[in-house]
A = this chain, B = another copy of it.
Amino acid sequence: MGTNHLQLVSDTKGRPVMAQHRTSCNECSLSPVCLPLAVSVDELDELEDIMRRGRPLKRGEHLFRASDPFESVFAVRSGAVKTYALSEEGEEQVTGFYLPGEIVGMDGISTAHHMSSAKTLETSSVCEIPFTRLEELSSKIPSLQHHFFSLMSREIQADRELHMLLSKKSADDRIASLLLSISARQQRRGLSAHRIRLPMSRYDIGNYLGLAVETVSRIFTRFQQQGMLAVEGREIEILDRESLCGNGRLRA
């Protein structure tokens, strides 16, 4: 529970330190925000048994591809992952960004095939969790079942937020909202809330938010001119949180 040695895993640069794939959930700094939070100490072993920790993945490697058979979900340990789908014409649609402690791949349960692809945005390590094993375990551990329902529910909620963002909000608000979201998620892991490092390109941001790259770029520049941000490539400092929120009356 009360683990206080956060930051064992180097993170700012996404470099994997030592042989992470031998680390157990117990020792993982993310356990308070990841799956283990739903299980008691003695149940944790069972969960550990079914998880597979792979080698660190290099930037651009795939966790899975659309139409791969659906077998597992993945917990991000370090680095960052994006999911995307290809439309009929082959253009990419980025559907989500996943940071450490978050679970990727929960679409695909219904179809037995993944409906999107997932690739790393930088060097990352992930834990693979075979889904049928997880289902079996969930039947035995009600809190785990509930936690998993809860995770999926949260995913749906996030999508609804995004829906509102895309259908009602200006380009400015979309960018502001994404920054605030990433800031909040970093903070949850014990990192700075006002200094953030974006793991994704401007292209990915634009694609995700339904904006042209040029628009994204222009907005970053303008936010900086207005003194709301200090932008240095993918390193962002939030200087005026008020304005960033108030801009479009976004939360927190």
Contacts and interface: CB of A to CB of B under 8 A. Distances in A.
Nearest to A87: B164
A115 interface: yes
Nearest to A251: B88
A28 to B, nearest CB: 22
Q: Is the interface of A mostly helix, strand, loop or mixed?
A: helix
Given A95-B160, A167-B208, 7 more contacts: A95-B163, A108-B153, A109-B146, A138-B139, A155-B156, A156-B156, A166-B167
A244 to B, nearest CB: 14
Interface in A64-109: 85, 87-89, 91, 93, 95, 106-109
A33 B160 CA distance: 24
A172 B250 CA distance: 29
Contacts of A124: none
Contacts of A93: 160, 163-164, 167-168
Tell me how many chains of this kind the complex includes.
2
A211 B164 CA distance: 12
Given A139-B145, A167-B210, A157 B88 contact: no
Nearest to A151: B110
Interface in A165-194: 166-168
Report, nearest first, the 7 A-B pairs whose CB atoms are least far apart: A167-B210, A109-B153, A159-B159, A166-B166, A110-B150, A152-B152, A110-B153
Contacts of A111: 153, 157
12 contacts: A85-B164, A89-B249, A95-B160, A109-B149, A109-B150, A110-B153, A115-B157, A116-B160, A135-B145, A135-B146, A155-B156, A163-B166
